[in-house]
Structure 1
Amino acid sequence: MKKSILKLGLLAAVLSFQTACNTALELEPTSVITNASFWKTEDDAKGGLTSLYVKQRDLANINLFIWGEARSEVMEWGKVSGTLDYDRYYLNTLSSVSAGPSWQSIYSAINDANLILKYVPNITFANETDKNNLLAQTYVSRAFLYFVLVRTWGEVPIRTEPVEGAEPDVIQKVRSSQQDVFKLIKEDLEKANSLFASYGFIKNRNYWSKAGTQALKADVYLWTAKRLNGGNADLQTAITACDDVAKADVSLLANYADLFKYSNKNNKEVIMAIGNKELESSNNYFFNMYSARLPNEIDPNTNEVIGQTAGGMVWTVTDLAKNQFKPGDLRKAASVLDLPAPALYPTLILKGRGTLISGVRYYTSDFVIYRYADVLLMKAEAKNALGQDPSLEMNQIRQRAFGSAFDANRFVNGSKAQNDQLILQERLLELMFEGKRWWDLLRFNKAFDLVPTLAGKSSLKHLEYFPISEQVLSLEPLVKQTVGY
């Protein structure tokens, strides 16, 4: 009995922990803040939303990349340092005792959302539009978090009540069906969409907006259309959502490389990005994709491109992925850089190399959740699934990618299967290292065909999901491990 109570207490502590800011200061508490005393003012509500965004940023530092891309054919050992156990992802050797990031951090963020949705409706705001926008951001945040959960683990517990104590019926939940999880996601998206006042961005593009809601909606309905038998209706909803994104102030940048310049954050192509800032947040996952040292024979021009380096090169891009860039594709030079002596200095990933301050490199590039090129490719995918011609969207992407060489690389409509193959490849080249590839492979049902470490394992469907860690199983006795792990 004591053991069960201890488990409940530990889980409650994990899920109910809140902070309104991200600070390294350690202060002695002068008072005890409870939910009953905290949720009183507009500032309290804004503090709760800040906590929710901070936890989404924590997820974006590395976990979203691990769940969304690390198990694909994109990454391999960097040969310069150790593996940091990242090899379990690209080698696909996960198990319950080596499961990768657990879902506890996601549920902690969901708990912040649930607290906001419980208490904020009863708080008076000076401006009702501000209140509605805050609630809308909360609903779409919760939808996004559950979307990460359901794609990563399949059936997951649904928690819509905040954990504020140790009540077993609130804490302990069984895994719900994917259909039920997506029902909640879609309901939250509709609530968010109805609450946003306009297609304008809130402060900047580091906050969920109506456009971000529509981008997420397109992603969700494309997934349910192809993975949960949503059929043509869901495909059409995805296309409509993509069209709705275009109502906002978004467009493709003329130069692909400009997307990733540190000085060009919040550019017009960005729809939603998790914001990072030097001296405010820790290095993100790109830290381990950038070399700590350079070969002596490096030429001055390359040295200028790289600048001051720091990091461990724990992993890098595979030749399989990198070599799919065709001659003339301008995206390659903006994404990767091959150094002299490749046996000693593997390919550097350039997209997220952050910024230099006083000779120190800070890997605090934003983690882009959605940008307009992604939306155009989702629309192309949905149109092709409906038997429509995706050439318009595909060629918008290729025109920027190839510039003056576009005519020789123009997309030409073919069969559904041919188009699917090209659309999936286009997503690889356009969105490489942006935390998309694993989920793209699952949506196209190509993980077992295109990931070398999964070859010949198509009968092991549980490998499409991450295992549930032993830690989570010990804290949540009603949760059962995914069959096969």
Structure 2
Amino acid sequence: MRRYLSTIKYVLGISLVLGVTGCSDQLDEVQPQTSLNRDLILSDPNAAMTLYYGVYGSFRSYHNTLFTLGEMRSEIWADGLFTESEDGGLRNYYTHNIDANNVPAANWAGFYSLLDKINTAIKLFPQAPVPEDQKSRVLAEMHGLRAFVYYTMLKTWGGVPLSTEPVTQVGGLEDLYRERATPEAVMEQVKADIEQSLTLFSGDNALTASFTGTSKHIYWNRAATLTLKGDAYIWSGTHMGGGGADFATAQQALEEVTTIGGLGLVENYADLFNPAREANNREIIFAISYEKDEATAGVYSSFRVNTTQASTLLLDPLTNPRTVSQAYPFLAGASRVGMSESMIEKLQHIEDERVNATFEVMYRNVPPTYPIAGVLLTKFAGREDAGVQLYDIDFPVYRYADVLLLLAEAKAKQGMDPSVEINLIRERAYGSDYVPYTDGSQQEDLRAILEEDLREFIGEGKRWWSLRRAGDEWVFEYVDPVYLASEQAYKLLLPISVGMLNSDPKLKQTPGY
């Protein structure tokens, strides 16, 4: 296989599927994961569960990808203020500096490596020596996760190659060639996996299976599948001709989530990002787990500030002056991405506890004006522990606020009144004296939903997807036309690289590129 080395890494992300992490020159010595583990998984329940837990460990490694694809192309971080050299890679996302020769998230962002692990679990667990109820639960979770991954890929590239079987052997490069399925076929796969997940859960609404031994909601569950169903059906109703029927299906799925015991908004928004309150958190439906002495959430290092600047930049210079280092003595990172002054002004509201729990504005110590230097993203800043900063906050993939705003969107797109859901979000944010929203036109309702979405999910990798799901016209309303104009609608999807096209004769470029 050595002769295939120069091209194989482009085909279905196979260099990752086969576990090549740094010794790619030893490709001929590597076996696919399935052939390495199959016999053991089918004979040893501990090995089978190691595969199960390994899928979630792999999923965590895509945190950076999920955040970047889901948020950085939106308006939140465009033209922001920062104190160090700009992160050029992230700038390409929010300026939409993207073409066939400048491809972000190349090689399908490595998602086929994750899919192969999920496919392996789906293939082997029916025969694994574990109790039947445990087996069904694992398979239900895996089908939900596969639906989520393919849905993310559909939103990113449109049609992508479909692979639902694990890679067990590679006889030649031609075995790896895959053409891009149509977007409709990908959505069909997403919906099929969603239904299979719900069938296998068989009404089991436990947010975490007892065999995992945790009270954190860090394993896929039936509520997550239902939330994904609502999300995906709104998308297909908006973009794929599903219309009212799909919006009604989404509404039904999301309303079912609201009936599941143990779920709801937490009273204090900041508790969502407090490591001490992650166990049995009623708002978290599914999150990526971070624990002390495990992998750390390094996704946000460019959204902080270095220690030298932290000793001079001020927080609240007029009312409660203190340096950043006084407030956050162990926080480390760099200020390479930021918010614009106009975005900061739009978001700042003294009574909105979401914004107060999400970021702090840093000012230069230049009285009397104290110009803004940038923002410090504090939502995932973690906590102090024995003189160090622990970045051990779980990253929410779906939470109850998603359900409410998705449900509001499904209603609005059917001409129904979404004010109940919008006002539940507003009341938590502003307190009992919030200004209630009253039903308006469909455009007014969708704008109100998107405005709450903006404030609710900063840093959670959702804003770009929210604009896209609402409809292309909303993307062009919120994103600066200097970077993305309506005549560049093809840029709503990402291209694939020239190298990928050269390496796989079945692949075709994303339309428009």
Of the three residues 439, 448, 459, the one matched with 2:487 is: 459
Task: Look up the SS of the partner of 1:347 in the other structure.
Answer: strand
Of the three residues 139, 149, 156, the one matched with 2:153 is: 149
Q: What's the offset of the Cα at 1:35?
A: 4.0
Q: Which residue of 1 aligns with 2:206?
A: 200
Q: Which residue of 1 aligns with 2:295?
A: 281
Structure 1 residue identity aligned to 2:219: Y
Q: Which residue of 2 aligns with 1:369?
A: 397
Could you list the per-position Cα deviations for residues 226-255 of structure 1 after superposition, in whole angstroms to 9, with x for gaps in the alignment? 111111111111111112212141110111
Q: Which residue of 1 aligns with 2:242?
A: 230
Contact 1:297–1:340 under 8 Å retained in 2? yes
| Aligned CA distance change for structure 1 residues 454 and 152 (closer, same or farther; 3 Å) | farther
Aligned length: 470
Superposition pairs of residues 27-426 of structure 1, within 5 angstroms: 34-40=36-42, 41-60=44-63, 62-76=64-78, 77-85=80-88, 86-102=90-106, 103-125=108-130, 127-167=131-171, 170-197=175-202, 198-202=204-208, 203=214, 204-246=216-258, 247-266=260-279, 267-293=281-307, 294-296=310-312, 298=314, 299-300=321-322, 305-325=327-347, 326-341=349-364, 345-406=373-434, 409-426=435-452
| Aligned CA distance change for structure 1 residues 248 and 170 (closer, same or farther; 3 Å) | farther
Could you list the per-position Cα deviations for residues 230-289 of structure 1 after superposition, in whole angstroms to 9, with x for gaps in the alignment? 111111111111122121411101111221122222411000001112321033322221
Structure 2 residue identity aligned to 1:415: S
Could you list the per-position Cα deviations for residues 438-485 of structure 1 after superposition, in whole angstroms to 9, with x for gaps in the alignment? 111111221122111556721222110122134433443321221332
CA distance in 1 between partners of 2:7 and 2:493 (Å): 25
**TM-score (normalizing by structure 1):** 0.90
Structure 2 residue identity aligned to 1:43: N
| Aligned CA distance change for structure 1 residues 78 and 322 (closer, same or farther; 3 Å) | closer
Contact 1:73–1:318 under 8 Å retained in 2? no
Structure 2 residue identity aligned to 1:123: A
CA distance in 1 between partners of 2:261 and 2:103 (Å): 39
CA distance in 2 between partners of 1:344 and 1:428 (Å): 21
**TM-score (normalizing by structure 2):** 0.85
CA distance in 1 between partners of 2:15 and 2:278 (Å): 36
Q: What's the offset of the Cα at 1:5?
A: 7.5
Q: Percent identity?
A: 30
Q: More deviation in 182-191 or 289-298?
A: 289-298
CA distance in 1 between partners of 2:331 and 2:186 (Å): 43
Task: Look up the SS of the partner of 2:287 in the other structure.
Answer: strand
CA distance in 2 between partners of 1:327 and 1:344 (Å): 17
CA distance in 2 between partners of 1:417 and 1:297 (Å): 41
Q: What's the offset of the Cα at 1:377?
A: 0.5
Structure 2 residue identity aligned to 1:142: R
Structure 1 residue identity aligned to 2:66: L
Q: More deviation in 168-177 or 389-398?
A: 168-177
| Aligned CA distance change for structure 1 residues 428 and 465 (closer, same or farther; 3 Å) | same
Q: What's the offset of the Cα at 1:78?
A: 4.7
Gaps of 5+ in 2: 22-29, 209-213, 315-320, 365-369
Contact 1:92–1:453 under 8 Å retained in 2? no
Task: Look up the SS of the partner of 2:486 in the other structure.
Answer: coil
Contact 2:313–2:324 under 8 Å retained in 1? no
Could you list the per-position Cα deviations for residues 176-198 of structure 1 after superposition, in whole angstroms to 9, with x for gaps in the alignment? 11110011111111111111251
Cα RMSD for the two superposed structures: 2.5
1:472 to 2:500 alignment: yes
1:433 to 2:433 alignment: no
Task: Look up the SS of the partner of 1:79 in the other structure.
Answer: coil
Contact 2:120–2:165 under 8 Å retained in 1? yes
Q: Which residue of 2 aligns with 1:24?
A: none
Structure 2 residue identity aligned to 1:460: Q
Q: What's the offset of the Cα at 1:296?
A: 3.2
Could you list the per-position Cα deviations for residues 331-387 of structure 1 after superposition, in whole angstroms to 9, with x for gaps in the alignment? 221112112217573111111112223332233422111110111010011111111
Contact 1:290–1:349 under 8 Å retained in 2? yes
Contact 1:83–1:314 under 8 Å retained in 2? yes
CA distance in 1 between partners of 2:147 and 2:229 (Å): 9
Gaps of 5+ in 1: 20-28
CA distance in 1 between partners of 2:483 and 2:363 (Å): 32
CA distance in 2 between partners of 1:398 and 1:208 (Å): 28
| Aligned CA distance change for structure 1 residues 475 and 245 (closer, same or farther; 3 Å) | farther
